[in-house]
């Protein structure tokens, strides 16, 4: 198994708010994804290149699945996680742990989004 993670989903309660948060903090544009659940889900996919290493995923608003309180942690790759960290509060999120060193593995920041989900920002610088 060369790449154990093939996809991720971040469940949200208010899609416009969550979409604006991630687009602002990560500096990307999310794209609408067709609903594979026949009307039960609204999905916006993060930019991805399905031909290269790494995983992509989507923000999901789905009947019966609420945001926050999950036990998985997604890390987004960054040039320098301090850049994205600086956008979190203005976008409506909170910083849980400021940029911290991980030795030879780079640096990370932990934040929560507007929906109460915690995620990480990771960089080598």
Per-residue DSSP letters for 25-64? HHT---EEE--TTSSSEEEEEPP--TTSSS--EEEEEETT
Structural domain contains residue 2: no
The answer to whether residue 57 sits within a structural domain is yes
Task: Indicate whether 59 belongs to any domain.
Answer: yes
Domain extent for 71: 8-123
Q: How much of the chain exceeds pLDDT 90, in percent? A: 60
How many domains are there within the chain? 1
pLDDT band at 72 (very low <50, low <70, confident <90, very high): confident
Q: Is the dihedral of CA 20, 23, 27, 30 positive or negative?
A: negative
Cα–Cα distance, 120 to 109 (Å, whole number): 6
What is the number of residues in the chain? 125
Residue 24 lies in a domain: yes
Instruction: Using the predicted structure, report yes or no on whether residue 1 has a pLDDT greater than 60.
Output: no
Residue pair 5/48 in contact by the 8 Å Cβ criterion: no
Determine contact, residues 3/54, Cβ cutoff 8 Å. yes
Tell me, yes or no, whether 31 lies in a domain. Answer: yes
Q: What is the mean pLDDT of residues 96-117?
A: 94
**Domain-located, residue 3:** no
In a domain, 75, yes or no: yes
Q: Mean pLDDT across the stretch 24-45? A: 89
The CATH number assigned to the domain holding 60 equals: 3.10.180.10
The answer to whether residue 1 is domain-embedded is: no
């Amino acid at each position: 198994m060369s790449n154990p993670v093939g996809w991720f989903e971040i469940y949200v309660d208010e899609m416009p708010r969550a979409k604006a948060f991630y687009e602002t903090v990560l500096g990307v544009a999310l794209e609408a994804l067709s609903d594979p659940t026949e009307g039960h889900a609204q999905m916006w996919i993060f930019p991805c290149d399905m031909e290269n290493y790494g995983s992509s995923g989507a923000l999901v608003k789905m009947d019966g699945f609420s945001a926050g309180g999950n036990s998985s942690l997604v890390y987004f790759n960054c040039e320098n996680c301090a850049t994205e960290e600086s956008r979190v509060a203005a976008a409506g999120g909170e910083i849980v742990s400021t940029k911290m060193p991980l030795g030879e593995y780079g640096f990370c920041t932990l934040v929560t989004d507007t929906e109460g989900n915690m995620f990480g920002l990771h960089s080598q610088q």
